[in-house]
Structure 1
Amino acid sequence: MFNASLYGLTVLIWGTTWIAIKYQVEGVAPELSVAYRFALAAAVVFVWALVARQRLRFALRTHVLLMAMGACMFCFNFYFFYLAANHLTSGLLAVVFSTASVMNIINGRLLLGRRSTPRTLLGAALGIAGVAALFWPEVRAFDLGDAGVAGLLLSLLGTLCFSLGNMTSVRAQAEGLPILACNAWGMAYGALIMFALAAVVGAPLTFDTGFPYVASLLYLAIFGSVLAFGAYLTLLGRIGADRAAYATVLFPIVALAISTVFEDYRWTTEALAGVALVLTGNILVLTRQRPRPGQAAPTS
């Protein structure tokens, strides 16, 4: 599949998951909602990997890497954001999560020794500024009180976990490990960790059989996890973590477009300016600068 198709699929699906997530945080402990989501997703991906005849048996050292990937990307990333949702609005959560593009640049340099071009750095900065402009009323009204600090720290931790998960996926793909098998084991480990956490904190083992919870769980597991993560992590290996993470900047626009239709969202001048900044950053990050005559093309 072409990179543009993978990118578009990731943005489109993750842009719609914010609506589904709101049905997961009421009535069921967040650690259990995350565990249910990735247990179901892992089962689907294991079957997919078997059908695709990808190897699923790995050495202990590889399983340690896949467990780290699961803990970061398919576990605590979502757990911290589910907790942060009790303190911050969805708009502020989107603003914080968009910093994944910058965290990937920093972590890619520190952990993988990969440098990003000034063009990518500028694009990431424009993207975050654009997301902040999109949600400017919520940013302006942010209260740095106890609840605000707690929500900000939790969402930053969630974003950092996502970025570290990106680094482990890049490492796994660099070692030639198949993506489907990595995702299957990573999701399984993430679900097991969340079930263990639920037991440690004494969360009641409950399940909401209501249609909104079950339907949103299925959507998040199949589309938000199996398909979107498969597309995103494939893209990660092809174009690099710094450029692929720009999807976290672009999908809030999709979320707002959906809100316009279903929730009567009203566009403001700041929001329109934010869209312009995000799209400009998108062009800078995802297109390569033409080298001058005699100059080598940039690698990132």
Structure 2
Amino acid sequence: MSSAPNASLLNPRIAAPFLLVALIWGSTWWVITGQIDGVPASWAVVWRFVIAAPAMALMALATGSSLKIGAKGQWLAILVGLTQFCGNYNFVYEAERHLTSGIVAVMLSLLFVPNTLLGRLLLGQKTSARFALGSLIAIAGIGLLFANEARSGGVGGNVWLGVVLAFFGMLAAAVANVVQANDTGRSLPMASLLAWSMAWGVVFDTVFALITAGPPVVPRDPAFWAGTAYLAIAGSVVTFPLYFGLVRNLGAGKAAYNGVLVVVLAMFLSTLLEGYRWTGLAVAGCALALAGLVIALSDRK
């Protein structure tokens, strides 16, 4: 299985959702930092998808899609819910307790590596020598950024725990990205599959939160709920149908190219709002990471 024959970033029908997803997700990294300030990360994830799941179901119905997805569809929704809407988000939210939002965004931009490898393994999507070269350059850049974070002590002081959490969050997202593009996923309306996936995610998230954080924590701060609504509607309901569509049309690896734009915006916001300090090591690391991303995903083959 490969990307669609006319799927190119020069095609406006591909470029428009590509840019919109990058711009929205670039801002969500900073919004998440406010969601975990005084609130257990696991409960912040629960409230996000408590809002997002019914909103996605309403979107499916509004676009004329049936919410009946059959047994195979439900099993796929369970897998996507467990990996994307439980595993990925809980790992990422926890990672942001230890790393600045921009650094977490930079690490998650390497999603194209497991995306492409799993796409090749499970979907038959091909890779190239240029991809391998770019990946090595980008990984070297990420290494420099992490070395800089280790020097500064990160956010919570445990930089390497943050790295491990972000790494597992990236792997969970890669599994979800690729499996939803299989034959079963392609046969289902995108919004319907996502609505059920988010609903199952709420189930898994709630169980995880009860085990790790205890009874529900319901914040009273209106700013928390405003941020949660933005993450749920803009950061999930609007973007995931667009992004998963890109995965199906461009291929798992090239769809993750929007990580380049996400990183630029996330690092800018982290500098502006979190006081991230640029050192020579950080500049070199960011430059290498972005250069590697561009090289890895610029091959037209």
Q: TM-score range by the shorter chain?
A: 0.7 to 0.9
* Aligned residue pairs, count: 288
Find 2:219's aligned residue among 187, 193, 208.
208
Q: Who is 1:217 aligned against?
A: 228
Shift, 1:248, TM fit: 2.8
Tell me if 1:256 matches 2:267: yes
Q: Given the alignment of the two structures, is residue 113 of structure 1 paired with residue 124 of structure 2, yes or no?
A: yes
Partner of 1:137: 148
Q: Please give the TM-score of this superposition, normalised by the length of structure 1.
A: 0.83
**Residues in 1 aligned to 2:183 and 2:50: alpha-carbon distance in whole angstroms:** 21
Q: Shift of residue 95 of structure 1?
A: 3.6
**TM-score normalized by structure 2?**
0.83
Secondary structure of the 2:248 match is helix
Q: Which moved more, 1:105-114 or 1:257-266?
A: 257-266
In the alignment, which of 151, 172, 181 is matched to residue 170 of structure 1? 181
* 8 Å CA contact retained: 2:73, 2:188: no
- Paired residues for 1:33-182 under 5 Å: 33-130=44-141, 137-138=148-149, 141=152, 147-171=158-182, 175-182=186-193
Name which of 226, 230, 242 aligns with 2:237: 226
One-letter identity of the residue aligned with 1:246: Y
Given that residues 94 and 252 in structure 1 are in contact (C-alpha distance below 8 angstroms), is that contact kept between their aligned partners in structure 2? yes
> Which is further off, 258-267 or 173-182?
258-267
Shift of the 268–48 alpha-carbon distance from structure 1 to 2, 3 Å rule, reads same
Counterpart Cα distance in 1 of 2:52 and 2:142: 29
Q: Secondary structure at the match of 1:209?
A: coil
- Give the aligned partner of residue 30 of structure 1: 41
Amino acid aligned to 1:97: L
CA distance 1:264–1:79, change in 2 (3 Å): closer
Q: Which residue is equivalent to 2:3?
A: none
Provide the rounded CA distance (Å) in 1 between the counterparts of 2:236 and 2:88: 13
Q: Which amino acid aligns with 1:213?
A: F
Corresponding residue for residue 17 of structure 1: 28
Task: Using the TM superposition, give the Cα deviation of residue 214 of structure 1 relative to its aligned residue in structure 2, in angstroms.
Answer: 0.9
Structure 1 gap ranges (5+): 290-297
- Post-superposition CA distance 1:122-180 (Å, at most 9, x none): 3444444455556763255579xx94443332221111101101112211566421111
Which whole-Å CA distance do the structure 1 matches of 2:60 and 2:271 have between them? 38
Q: 1:283 to 1:197 in 2, by over 3 A?
A: closer
Partner Cα distance (2:162, 2:199) in 1 = 27
Deviations 1:48-102 (A, max 9, x none): 1101111210221220111101111111101012222333343442343222111
CA contact (8 A) 1:14 1:251 kept: yes
Report the CA distance shift for 1:105/1:11 in structure 2 as closer, same or farther (over 3 A). Answer: same
Q: Is the 8 A contact 2:101 2:270 kept in 1?
A: no
Contact 1:92 1:139 in 2 (8 A): no
CA distance in 2, matches of 1:267, 1:43: 41
